[in-house]
Structure 1
Amino acid sequence: MAENCPILTPAEKQVVDIIKRADDTLAAAVSQALQEVTRQAAEEMQAAGQEQSAPALQYFASVVHQRMYCLMCGADSNTFEGGDPDIAYHVIRNSQNIAKHYWAADIEPYPPK
């Protein structure tokens, strides 16, 4: 079965382009911030004689991920209180679907509600 692919109006295309540029800017800023805090932590850990304990970039990425998860769910990122469990469910299910579809993860996503 062929899928319909709507042709965007010039105004719709403009909106898509604006959002795409904002997405790209955000991704670049987050990537740059992760690299900067990783470098800063490594320098400070080295100055303290603890260079072997310096967190990897992935540690800081997981911190961002956790805080964004809380933001998306409406929870306090320090206490995890106040989040919407329905949104949390859908965010987790989306991640499971991505892992299964794009990375062939051996996982069955939560069933739809």
Structure 2
Amino acid sequence: MSAQHACDTGDLEPGEAMRLDLEDADGRPLPVALVRDEDGDFHAISDICSHGQVSLSDGEVEGCAIECWLHGSTFDLRTGRPLSLPATQPVPVYPVTLDGPRVLVDVDAPVDVPAR
């Protein structure tokens, strides 16, 4: 499978996030948080917090990070790495491309972030 249409650029304002259920390679729904950071750039990460198993798209976007609404962990939108406790494990990050007004996400090609 290739990149999937997630939304149009006008569907999210800077500082907003939305939950999407995209299809993985086996056709199963995969929860993804599509986030537009405060600078207007789009990011796609797993919508499931690695600590609390809750939706990250319900959290607050601050700069290039999103905060989990349940326990307050923040995640870097570029790497998926947790920036604050209690989360210690990263969440998957997916490539985003723009095709005119269309925002595309490729859930079959997670970004490989080197260990610190």
> Which of structures 1 and 2 has the larger relative contact order (alpha carbons within 8 angstroms, sep 6+)?
2
Structure with greater proportional helix content: 1
Normalized against structure 2, the TM-score is what?
Answer: 0.22
Look at both structures and tell me which one has the larger radius of gyration over its CA atoms: 1
TM-score (norm 1): 0.23
